[in-house]
Amino acid sequence: MTVRVLAAGDHFVQNRLFIDALRRAVPGEVEISELTLPWPVTPFGRVGEVDEASDVEDELIEALRGVEVCVTQMAPLTKKVLDACPDLRLFCVSRGGPVNANLEAATAAGVAVTFAPGRNAVATAEHTLAMLLAATRRVPRTHADLAAGVWRGDYYTYDNAGPELEGATAGLVGYGAIGRRVARMLEGFGAEVLVYDPYVEISGQVELDELLHRSSFLSLHARATPETAGMIGAGQIAAMPPGSVIVNCARGSLLDYDALCDALESGHLFGAAVDVFPEEPIPAGSRLLTAPNLVMTPHLAGASKETAAKAARIVAEDVARYVRQEPLKHCANPRS
């Protein structure tokens, strides 16, 4: 029996990637229609009761008429959508977590929700190292000076020179797929790596206080939960050695950004680099826009072509399991 599938891609995980992956995973067994969402040209936001979604409820409802399976990255699975789409049975979110899906309502409606863990682990780990090095070696700032025709020899003074990774101690808060890759990269540079993650069992990990006191480099890789909100604040930053560097390519909620700006302005931190923010886009007037020695990128650590292709492949493989009536591999609500 042919299964009707809606590919609701966007300008990153494109519909052609979903369609190619579906054709390889379930050849001849799916009838595919398309809806293109505006992200990232139009930022995501809160839609109904879900977060980080494209505001396309009405368009999605229309596109889902008679559709059994939806593969997407940013489409909102809200109660409104579920109530209007009784034929829907599987909603595949090509992200590390299905934050744009109302899992409780989906479960009540008998709709399974899957996701794509690890899709951007390599890209985010590589971006983390790039950000760390950019902050440590003043890459954006010195480039801007040169592009403006200014040659500043004072960057070579001792006080302006940054620390090396070789022989340094780097602390990782969070040791999932991304953290483990960052650890291997840092060890390749000759750094000693300390790890704090109460949710994994590994030998040699230390408590957070010890990690902070010993680490000249701190990289955050924890998940956003009520327990991790604001876990790195003024007290934690003050516990780090003077001249340290902090990198956050995980979630904006992990870090107190006012405390970060204070530490940059006081000189306690040599530098910092962040890809995620408490509010996105960054509002006008934010202290982050004027904080010294801060490197920023607009939440694109996971943006690689390979990430998009992996995301499409992971969800297509679960669609294939659904078609074959096999257990789903990455189901967020297995009771559905």
Tokens of 220: 């955050």
Number of domains in the chain: 2
Any domain includes 8: yes
pLDDT in the model for residue 27: 84
Answer whether residue 127 shows pLDDT above 80.
Answer: yes
In degrees rounded to 5, what are phi and psi of residue 238?
A: -65, -25
For residues 159 and 270, state if they share a domain.
yes
pLDDT in the model for residue 335: 79
For residues 90 and 145, state if they share a domain.
no
Q: Which domain holds residue 319?
A: 3-119+304-323
For residues 281 and 151, state if they share a domain.
yes
> Which residues does the annotation mark as catalytic?
251, 280, 299
For residues 85 and 202, state if they share a domain.
no
Any domain includes 332: no
Answer whether residue 1 shows pLDDT above 80.
Answer: no
Any domain includes 336: no
Answer whether residue 198 shows pLDDT above 90.
Answer: yes
For residues 64 and 152, state if they share a domain.
no
For residues 126 and 136, state if they share a domain.
yes
For residues 148 and 248, state if they share a domain.
yes
For residues 284 and 245, state if they share a domain.
yes
Any domain includes 271: yes
pLDDT in the model for residue 58: 98
| Identity of the amino acid at 121 | A
pLDDT in the model for residue 336: 72
Tokens of 5: 């599938």
Task: State the average pLDDT over residues 84-96.
Answer: 97
For residues 274 and 199, state if they share a domain.
yes
Average pLDDT score over the chain? 96
Any domain includes 328: no
The secondary structure of 126-185 as a DSSP string is HHHHHHHHHHHTTHHHHHHHHHTT---GGGGSGGGPPPPSTT-EEEEE--SHHHHHHHHH
What CATH number does the domain containing 308 carry?
3.40.50.720
pLDDT digits (tens, 9 = 90+) for 223-281: 988 999 999 999 999 999 999 999 999 999 999 999 999 999 999 999 999 999 999 88
pLDDT in the model for residue 28: 85
Task: State the average pLDDT over residues 66-80.
Answer: 98
Any domain includes 187: yes
pLDDT in the model for residue 29: 83
pLDDT in the model for residue 224: 87
For residues 129 and 277, state if they share a domain.
yes
The Cα–Cα gap between 51 and 42 comes to: 15
In sequence order, the β-bridge partners of residue 93 are 72
pLDDT digits (tens, 9 = 90+) for 21-52: 999 999 888 999 999 999 999 999 999 999 99
pLDDT band at 163 (very low <50, low <70, confident <90, very high): very high
For residues 314 and 215, state if they share a domain.
no
Any domain includes 334: no
Is it true that the peptide bond before 327 is cis, omega within 30 degrees of 0?
A: no
pLDDT band at 317 (very low <50, low <70, confident <90, very high): very high
Task: State the average pLDDT over residues 95-115.
Answer: 97
For residues 177 and 241, state if they share a domain.
yes
pLDDT digits (tens, 9 = 90+) for 146-157: 999 999 999 999
> How many CA within 13 A on the CB side of residue 55?
8
Answer whether residue 203 shows pLDDT above 80.
Answer: yes
Any domain includes 82: yes
pTM score: 0.91
Answer whether residue 301 shows pLDDT above 90.
Answer: yes
